[in-house]
Structure 1
């Protein structure tokens, strides 16, 4: 549904984004994740036809954004970070106005506006002036204007920024419900939004994609990811030595506890391995008591921090990038990103 290939945007001699490549299948919610200034908004604006690219191509629903801009705009709904609202119009009046601007046939406008209001749960606010709405309801109106012409693709730039926890949950549930009939690109730097809303993730840093995959695959591939924490007692050094010899174990460390003679063994496993039964066999064989054993795994926050702070390339689910790895990030521009 969306194909982005080698997309770049420069401002004079400064690079905003460089060689951005990703795709989104029909019905997917792609979380476009990155720190402030990473190039998220620049990419979203290019996808929406709001900003021209310096090089590269974007195809949405089979149409080239640069060559067939009007056809693309008819097939996308775009919500920028600040919703484009006319505050002195009522919700219903504004949506009729937007529907007319977006070419919805006169005989179909009532149905489309009614559907957008119901989908965004705005029935009780439809005759209220937009300036009297809370930020959460304004965000709903912003999403309603993006879907009033029933586009196959929706592009949402930071849709939950500035909302309170209740409003975030409401908007999150709304976005998930839209995936039934729309393909969605969701730009954000809020990690829980990605984990709870998106099917796949693309992480951008310093203007370049550094990882793509499902949240689970990114967490599984992170170095130092999954493993176990085992609370036990006895000979700590000997237990560490024997567990470290297991082929499925990458590393093991001992952490003291407040309980006398007890300690916690923190074990990190090799990727795609399951050392749990072997660890238990070692400890039982040594005659050690096991008070607690719990599985640990890297979170999406761990992935994000490792990739954007330490700048380590991570192999993607599709091997995107040169040599099977994603390309290293380029120098951060800090210019024209809109973030």
Structure 2
């Protein structure tokens, strides 16, 4: 197991930032970590990188406890924080040499990460002369210097233009996976980022995990939602007796959302239900939940 999070709680005074958060990440997985602002993403990432202590619970990275063995964790983790901290007056190669000395790493590793992150053409420049995309590459190169097994990336594509987005996505995806062996936990607000790079998605809201699934399960899900409005009130339990119905929600008035687990178009079954029970259908729609809709559904304020 590459990352183990067990019943993590984090409080600031009376405020709970994380509430009983638990999940495991296998070696080589690229996991998208989603949530609205203030949900607890950055707090958890700072715990995993030893910048913050837990209030309760255990976090283990590559076999090392973040509280008991922080130095060993730091040797196994490459971290790119949301606000990429760079010394802007330093040259790219100079900055990486400085950090290589901190890590006591051979200078040969500098050329390796420069090549790996596509910085060769910019390595002679000062960091303040670089575009945002290349500054992100410098941050990634720095995170990779000590060849960590785990990469923790907090909003790595914020502020990039479309071309830079494509390049950074390809770079990150190329670092992870079973062949490369690096585990990547990637925080983002952008659903397309997850769909383009990740194997799995974890959604956190108000300090709690509200979804943890393989991306393939979500994109290939047979689930459909039938939105229907009748001319009269119907008990949810009656609608749940329709074949393949997993959940029913009364959205407002006489309108319902019927969740079905089947590839079959369920509108006909709902129409038959209405006919058999003497109901008129005022509206009837079918939709398939996407990751973005699921995110909104799980994180919107009730």
Q: TM-score, normalised by structure 1?
A: 0.71
Alpha-carbon distance in structure 2 between the residues aligned to 1:200 and 1:173: 17
Partner residue in 2 for 1:103: 104
1:270 to 241, 260, 264: 260
Instruction: Give the corresponding residue for 1:70.
Output: 71
Deviation at 1:249, TM superposition (A): 7.0
Aligned to 2:166, which of 146, 169, 173?
169
List per-residue Cα deviations over 1:261-285 (Å, max 9, x = no partner).
xxxxxx97721x2315996xx9xxx
Aligned to 1:126, what secondary structure does the other structure show? coil
Deviation, 1:217, is 2.5
- 1:45 maps onto 2:50 in alignment: no
Distance 1:212 1:250 in 2: 19
User: For the Cα contact (< 8 Å) 1:2–1:60, is it kept in 2?
Assistant: yes
Q: Cα 1:275–1:227, aligned 2, differ >3 Å: closer, same or farther?
A: farther
- Cα distance change, pair 277–191 in 1 and its aligned pair in 2 (3 A): closer
Root-mean-square deviation (CA, aligned residues, Å) is: 2.9
Asked if 1:298 is matched to 2:294, the reply is no
Question: Superposition pairs for residues 198-277 of structure 1, below 5 Å?
Answer: 198-218=198-218, 225-226=223-224, 247-248=243-244, 270-271=260-261, 273-275=262-264
Structure number with higher relative contact order (C-alpha < 8 Å, ≥ 6 residues apart): 1
CA distance in 2, matches of 1:269, 1:23: 29
Aligned length: 264
Shift of 1:130: 0.3
Query: After the TM superposition, which residues 305-324 of structure 1 pair with which residues of structure 2 at under 5 Å, given as runs?
Result: 305-309=296-300
**The residue matched to 1:161 in structure 2 has which SS?**
coil
Cα distance change on mapping 1:269 and 1:308 into 2, 3 Å:
closer
Alpha-carbon shift at residue 151 of structure 1 (Å): 0.4
Q: For residues 138-149 of structure 1, what are the structure 2 equivalents within 5 Å?
A: 138-149=135-146
Distance 1:303 1:206 in 2: 16
Secondary structure in 1 matching 2:121: helix
The 3-state SS of whatever aligns with 1:270 is strand
Structure 1 residues 32-79: Cα deviation after superposition (integer angstroms, max 9, x where no partner): 100111111111111101111111111011000100000110110000
Matches within 5 A, 1:55-94: 55-94=56-95
Deviating 4+ runs (over 3 angstroms): 218-222, 245-251, 276-279
| Partner of residue 157, structure 2 | 160
In structure 1, how many angstroms separate the alpha carbons of the residues matched to 2:153 and 2:112?
19
Change (3 A) 1:54 1:140: same
Structure 1 equivalent of residue 19 of structure 2: 18
The answer for the alignment partner of 2:120 in structure 1 is: 123
Is the CA contact 1:219–1:297 (under 8 Å) kept in the aligned structure 2? no
**C-alpha separation in 2, matches of 1:298 and 1:122:** 40
- Please tell me whether the aligned partners of residues 260 and 266 of structure 2 are also in contact (alpha carbons under 8 angstroms): no
Give how far 1:16 is off: 1.2
Relative distance call for 1:13 and 1:299 in structure 2 (3 A) is same
Q: Given that residues 79 and 157 in structure 1 are in contact (C-alpha distance below 8 angstroms), is that contact kept between their aligned partners in structure 2?
A: yes
Shift of the alpha carbon at 1:211? 1.0
Please give the per-residue CA displacement for 1:185-239, whole angstroms capped at 9, x wherever unaligned: 00111111111111111100011111101123245679xx4379xxxxxxxxxxx
Give the Å deviation of 1:96.
1.2
Counterpart contact for 1:32–1:203, Cα < 8 Å: yes
Query: The residue matched to 2:204 in structure 1 has which SS?
Result: strand
**CA–CA distance in structure 1, aligned partners of residues 266 and 54 of structure 2:** 53
TM-superposed CA distance for 1:91, in Å, is 0.8
Q: What is aligned with 1:29? A: 30
CA distance, structure 2, for counterparts of residue 213 and residue 169 of structure 1: 25
